[in-house]
Homo-oligomer: A and B are copies of this chain.
């Protein structure tokens, strides 16, 4: 059976959990508390040298890190990945956008507010992260105006990747009031058969 090393509040981990549930694939969850440093132990670093969750362990003992690479692995051959070349590239475009322009602003601010507290160093970069987060939400709003999904006619792993931290953006102080297309898209994801909330495995 697939084994997922994960931390439940993590949106990066939730992406993988959500896709597994939508696919109806059973998995074993191994919780690792990143706040307590459980992903920086020698034992864990031997599994993932980059010391992060999520980490997927395949049936044969192979370890695969990086949430969006795990999504890609699990989605190949399923309806969650477009069948055409440009569609796959477009899907990856949004997934790289997620890791570069969205997560470092929206997820990081949420984590600071929920766990780390705002140190003076973090206070100094907070306005830039707030602006960067809203810019990313604005790009998504523009894309979703008049569309149901980010790529093509159905839900793909690009939607799952971006849903994870967008639907909890308010926990980092982001107000989605001015993003109606984005809020309607959040509702569409949450209505998928098999959907589970982020607090649940």
Q: Show the binding face of A for B, using Cβ within 8 Å.
A: 49-50, 58, 62, 64-70, 72-73, 76, 85-86, 88-90, 92-93, 95-97, 99-101, 103-104, 120-121, 124-125, 128, 139, 142-143
Contact = CB atoms under 8 A, between A and B. Distances in A.
Contacts of A88: 72-73, 76
7 contacts: A49-B142, A64-B86, A68-B96, A69-B90, A100-B104, A120-B124, A124-B125
Q: State the number of copies, please.
A: 2
A128 B121 contact: yes
Given A99-B100, A121-B124, A124-B121, A69 B49 contact: no
Contacts of A76: 85, 88
Interface residues of chain A: helix, strand, loop or mixed (majority): helix
A139 B92 CA distance: 24
B99 A143 contact: no
Contacts of A128: 121
Contacts of A120: 124
A72 B103 CA distance: 21
A72 to B, nearest CB: 5
Nearest to A143: B49
Contacts of A50: 97, 101, 139
Contacts of A99: 96, 99-100
Contacts of A121: 124-125, 128
